[in-house]
Structure 1
Amino acid sequence: MAPHPSLSRNLWQSEDANAVQESTPRLVHSLGERRSVLSLAVSDSYIFCGSQGQDIPASQDIPVWDRRSLRLKDSLRGHTGFVLALIYAEDEKWLFSASGDSTVRVWCTTTLSPLYVISPYLETGAGDLFSLAWVPSLRTLYVGCQNTSIQWFDFNTDLQPPSPTGLPGTGTSTPRQRDPHKFFDSYPQYERKPADIYANNGPGAQPRSRDISPPASECGGKSPRAFLNIPAENVVEFAHFGYIYCMALLQEEGRTSRVRLATGGGDEFIKIWDCSDKTPTELHAFECTNNGAIYSLVVKDDSTVFAGCQDGSVKVLDLDTKTIVRSIIVQEGVDVLSLSMVGGDLYACSANGKVQRFSASFDCTASWTAHDGIVLSSIITEDAVRPTLITGGNDHHIKMWELSSSLPSAPSPAGFDTPDTLTYALSKFISIPSVSSISSHREDCRQAAIWLKKCLAQLGATSQLLPTEDGKNPLVLGTFTGVAAKDKEHKPRVLFYGHYDVIPAPSDGWDTEPFHMTGRSGYLYGRGCTDNKGPILAVACAAADLLAARKLGVDVVFLVEGEEECGSAGFGEAVKKHKDLIGHIDAILVSNSTWFGEDTPCITYGLRGVVHCSLEISNDRPDLHSGIEGGAVVEPLVDMVHLLATLTDRQQQVLVPSFYDRVRKQDDAERERFAQIANGNSSTSTLSSRWREPALTVHSIDISGPRNATVIPGTIKSQVSIRIVPDQDLDTVAKSLCQHLETSFEALKSPNKLKLAVKHTADWWLGELDGFWFDALENAVAEEWGVRPLRIREGGSIPSIPFLEKQFGCHALHLPMGQSSDQAHLPNERISLDNLRKGKVILYLLASRVSRQFGSHFGVHQFNSMSSRLAALRWFLVNRLVSAQRSASGRKKADAPISPTADLFP
């Protein structure tokens, strides 16, 4: 089972019981209600409760509780529907209440008497009034309606006439009547009457003449001063494509500052509106795809909005960069119905009755069951001593919780202190045994993909899963959208490739549980720590931190597969199919290997390719007894030995015809690099053999039968691989290998049968050492480590790198984060905590350099059109072609780059 995907550490779950008790707010008082508490508001003297009840007298009243005595003081009567929203206007000493009866009522919080009744445009046609926002500087009330409109009432101009005392609204007259609506104010067709506002056609509609006040009994013996209408021009229709459940006013910095309003709807959108001239103008819309309706909003300062979603998450929105910088999973699938914030602490109230507190670093510092049912509402009061959280639920209780600013100490995952988001997330990632080569772990692989998708979303990316072949593991696609400078038409886009699958981890040889990350002496141990889960999360956390700091000047696109350890089955076709979704790419970044040594950082610039071939030799007979048939049959095992012997000589030279014809010669520059790397610890010839020369390996010989010393096996299987290098052609080598094996087997004149199959191939890769991207990466490594990195090659293969280069027409960069002793694919796999964190910083520096210099270096190639993307692809292919030509002609520095601004085609 996959771990809970939330990256918010449960710091309240300490082993110290006293610490747990201290971290949980203390219940100081409970107020009994006879109905569900839908909304709350607080003045200096009172607590107001918006209620809902069934078959209870006065169930739509607004109970008023005295804050000092905590006794019921009064009830505000007048609404005939559930009270869905309350808001206190401290500047006016007014209370606004919105109801399912399609009215907003205004109450004086000093005398607890009614002041006004405001009907929205279309009256009952507006439906339930779910949300309110009061703007003191404009003296304007905004209303979020069920019919998807935003409406507002201006107490400066819409309230007429002014009172004799100069205070608006003491008269009983109202502004001009609204125009009738063709649908909501229409009569039945057979009456053949034009629409008017007294059609009384809507369900429960009871329009009254605005010159007649309702009976005083309707308002608890106290009559409102005036009945008012929101004029037709004060309406933004279809502000959302769903009910407008919540509103939040962004902080105002002075009476003349810009006024902005945030709204959340049932359409999965959070919208930001400019209300400076009172008419809301949409500034930006955040889409929370697959998160359900937006039920609650709270604002921090003037730049961050927290949104509680139907799927149990809280979205963290940065208004300056217009990005979703984080997603906090409170409880999957459980509505987050109310949010409150004080001092950087966020309190999330859920439909499961729980309240959870999250710190400014998004860690869960408290969690408790506040109500026996649903927590419907919350509000925070800041008293003289300490703030109080007031919550309301459908268990007919209002509860008051004493908040403490003290936080419990953070527990550490096994063996390392104070984990940050990176190490905490990695501990969860490691715990999923995503072994792609074992069918029983297929669901674990899928859960790892789901977890990573949610992890990237929480860190601020938009993420999704992309299918591959049937029965194969999906790709994870995530995009961190950076902020473009105003003078740039386009941001650079970097694709990070990785893989979430791992190889098996038999317990033999492990000092600790392989799928439980532990820390010892500065290293993190666990299967996948270095290959490749650790580097994936280091890059993701780097992008998230830059995004949160509003310094991400590039788009970082994550493409993470789950079949790399099994040959990347389905990867290529899935990328081709979803290429438009991935978008154009300017550079590819990989971190899927280790350093040459322990102390000096490295950058990998070359990989060998590979051809994996399976061989099978068999006869038509079952396994035989050697004492009976020995010498009378041609044994398949003997044939296999003879056949394998034709592949190499005693000097390990491959005997496949024309095998070495296209191998690129080593130039002086690389020879010098190898000599610098060897430096007495190895020989340059050894490095060349491991990194840049082709090789053939016989991996296994498997026999049929019981493996008894007296048995002649009837079937023999073997696995062979060839590592290829620049400029060998992958298809040519694979075909030549098969032809050589078939010819050699025919020469044996054996009655047995040979079967061959090329199971897996990967092309070689050679990076661009003199381009802008490599320079930016090399300088970033040098800046962080204080030493120039070694330029190394690898003997292994990563098939996706050359494939991605060809698909997107750009170069790849390979930044290893692990050390040579990291034991990738072996017991006790590990990665240095320092390497992981420095790798994260290197990504900061790389992104900063690229965002600053991209425009000047790549001004000729603004990849914002199809023609320029084709030009980039042409540049890449010409580089590869010219390099091959130079190699064939024996020229030195075959991998010398061609300037991207070179006029290659007249």
Structure 2
Amino acid sequence: MPIAAPPHNDSIMDAMGAERPVPNANRTPALSHRMKHDKSILALAVSSQYIFAGTQGGEILVYSLDTFQRRRVIHAHKGSVLGLCLSQDRKLLFSSAADPIVNVWCTSAFKHLYALWSPYDIGDIFCVAYSSYHRTVYLGAQNTSIQWYDLKEKDSRPAPSLSSHPNERKNKFFDSLGPGGAQTPRPGGADSRPRDAAGGQELQIDSHDIYQFAHYGYVHCMLLGTNILPESPSEEVLVSGGGDGRILLWRIDPSQRGAISSIYTLEDGREEGESILSLARERSFLYSGRFDGEVNVWDLETRQLVRSLKASTGDVHTLTLGAGVLYAGGKTGIVQKFNEHYETITTFKAHDGLILASAFTKYNDKPTFVTGGNDNTVVIWEVRDCAEPNAVTRRSNNDLMVESLSQFVSFRTVSSLPKYRADCRRGASYLRSVFQNFGAVTEMINTREPYNPIVFAKFRGNPATTASRKKILFYGHYDVIPAENEHRKWKHDPFSLTGEGGYLYGRGTSDNKGPIMAAIYAAHELANEQSLDSDIIFLIEGEEESGSRGFEKAVQARKDLIGDVDWILLANSYWLDDHVPCLTYGLRGVIHATVQVESKHPDLHSGVDGSALLDEPLKDLVMLLSKLTGRHGKVQVPGFYDPILPLTDDEKELYTEITQTLLRGNPDLGDPEELAQSLMRRWREASLTIHRFQTSGPENSTIIPRLAKAALSIRLVPNQEAGNVAESLQSFLQSEFDQLDSKNKLNVTIDHQAEPWLGDFNNEIFQTLERAIMSVWGPTLGQRRESVPTTDYFSPLSKPTATPSPTTNSKPEPATSNTLANSSDDPVVLVSATSMPNHPSSSSSRKPLYIREGGSIPSIRFLEKEFHAPAAHLPCGQASDSAHLDNERLRLVNFFNCQRIFKEVFRELPRK
């Protein structure tokens, strides 16, 4: 039979080397990833690294096969891209379009090499094929012709006249004479070429290299191959399908510059044939797709139609063969799979519209099916049933890591809502099982009820290094904030990991489940490779989003289990923008407080009881809170700013580097001095915020509430002690309240406090992280060339202050995280060092930015004090990750590179 039998008792290897069964062929392929565009996808081609997608707008989109990140948009044609074809060695990409031009591209540098056109007006070029053996390009045209060009002769033929280029020819409409002999004005840019198609060698097809009326209808599809003619299996044959319902096989004559001559025609005997819309071939069997779901199977040895299949796809626009399975897709948006017996094994809805293109590939031995349609999407499908019979497929660690994260995200580990308490426990149990499956020693460390447990795990280093190996503690949290999605603000189910546009969407992907999984797989890989020379200890808590309740006491109670620690590492924050990797060396601390004023009288009616003699709690509260801050938010608590450290010269240089880098890529951020001051006020200056008010009584405008309270927070900076500031706050508020001479009662409660943290960015762990980031991320590409003068934007500061210059008439707009994440419409493209073509040496790699954060992580300073070990913070995600917001996400390339950085750090940190 023509199609290989599907696997039945196949298996795949997990990360531990254990075999597990492949799902049988009847299951629907898993949607792995979806990439959206703003125009229809008409053509697809897949190389060893990239997916190339031709669009209705004339672009060729280039997506990475490993991270699905869009690497390039090639502005290739002025008309829709109708056909894509790769050379056998995948080094050349041929694109045909409605221009009508065939462009040839280098697939490594995405450079335009040749532009090929016909000397005549041939209409749209529906398809293109390339013979690597003969080095000849074939194109099928709307005017029913097949034309060709022998690239071996490109340098020996005379250069074509530019006037013969399709852009220069007279247009039947615009260049015709209207009434009175006037010529219609041509639209602006009609003669220009797409920007990426400029340059390259211009090639014109010779008038002799044309087979006119190859079909009695449009030439819709073509393919090339050997083993088609039984009498001459090594001969390469061209196969074409047309609007006349015929399939023609053509012999290629290399002595005549690749000229074709008809060998025979495949016809089904109909008087009026319907168009052949698609072709696919495996060995001696040829498959053709036609209107209304008709798929024909031809035996090339006997030249007979052996089977006619009926698919539920509507018009069959695309046929693809992959490892023994035939995929048909078409008008209905449905893909239908056929096995070796021509039986339907499954159908599935792939697009909300027409399926116009498809391709099959095995990337890293993983069978993958790709589809494109007029719903403007490219969709990646994982088809495990396409593994070769009797073969064992090893899934890559990246695939397994994403699969583990998908399961991890599915647990609704929301620590702040009691209804998810069981989900939190299940999530902790799943995380522990991941550690156990990878050979780590694990234990659940209980916290005080009803708080969630801490997952403890230890990967032991090589026994030979027992005396010298270091102990690295990785801290993280498996709990997340709520994502109820009641108002449908999430694009997808927040607790179902969804791949789209190179990102993984789901609650916790960035904060903090993705980084945790990356660190686990890094330690596991090193242990498997017997390259782990340190002990990696994991403490993953389940209450971080609720103030780390119970964490400190639980850790103190089990210090015997945890043991000594040399270094502390966490990954619970984000880059400063979306483009440049960062290292975080400072976090602000926090005090959450409630200020409450209460009277002895009940809720009253303002019309009945309101008077100047009545001490109203809400009025007292407002007056009291107004004493907390002065002009521009300066905190009025006595001695509040005294402990704050001045800006050092080393830190000043870091801010200069940050502003230069940000403005180089995003000049819209404005004045460098204002940007630097804005960042300093977020990171190294303390602040006070009033969050909300709450009053007693019914919610109407006539009530005098008997009780009024406000929630506020103070963000602390290094050298401020949370306990001292909390005590000063309470004392100050009580003193100011006493001056009001009110009969009401004041109560100030400290609900939560966390110490600020400042790391030493010159120590060994930060320098190891820096080297790992430079090695993994490499240089950045695509940055704008605007230069920022190297200027000292900073004046000496003895104490941070929010007071502006007396000459300033208005406050500058602060640079928020949202501003930085969305400050440029032309983003910097940042790629992994190992995936870059012609990657330069690591000496040219740029250092990460050293940044501080305005947020707080309660446990980091506690862990430093408790274990007498320095901490470092590796941000994994981008500023636009939307952690704590709707549509939280983590970019796949960040996820994979984060794992590689952890692996290098875990390996290199113990070494001297």
- In the superposition, the TM-score normalised over structure 2's length comes to 0.49
From the CA coordinates, give the structure whose radius of gyration is larger.
1
Greater relative contact order (Cα 8 A, min sep 6): structure 1 or 2?
2
- In the superposition, the TM-score normalised over structure 1's length comes to 0.49
